[in-house]
Amino acid sequence: MLVYLAHPVVSDPTGNYQKAKRIAREIVNRYPEVVPVSPVLNFCYFREPEEREKIMKCCLQLLSKCEELWLTGQWWNSNGCLQEKQFAEELGIPVRMYSFPSVITAAE
């Protein structure tokens, strides 16, 4: 199952890249049926904030191919994560919150 991992970036790019890697690794180890897709790691070559629009376009296109969206970190403080959540809900993609060590169903 392809799972899109939404995680904040802009507030602390270096720290958030490290957190995203740790979360993806945790998920692979705990849920062998899940293939985590991390836009934080996939699109780290973009320049933030200069290419923000391009980044979000790529993120949403990638999200549309995934089976679920898992919100991670302090997603509620991230405009990008909030946009991804809204997009997933509009497409009918299940949205969950991931908080180690378990997935909490249905993000409100």
Q: What is the 3-state secondary structure (H, E, C) of 57-78?
A: HHHHHHHCCCCEEEECCCHHHC
pLDDT, tens digit (0-9, with 9 covering 90-100), for 41-78:
999 888 878 898 999 999 999 999 999 999 998 999 99
Is 20 in contact with 1 (CB distance < 8 Å)? no
Average pLDDT over residues 20-46: 93
The CA distance from 33 to 54, in Å, is: 30
The residue among 61, 51, 50 whose CA lies nearest residue 88 is: 61
Q: Judge whether residue 108 has pLDDT over 50.
A: no
2-104 topology per CATH: Rossmann fold (3.40.50)
The ranges assigned to domains in the chain are: 2-104
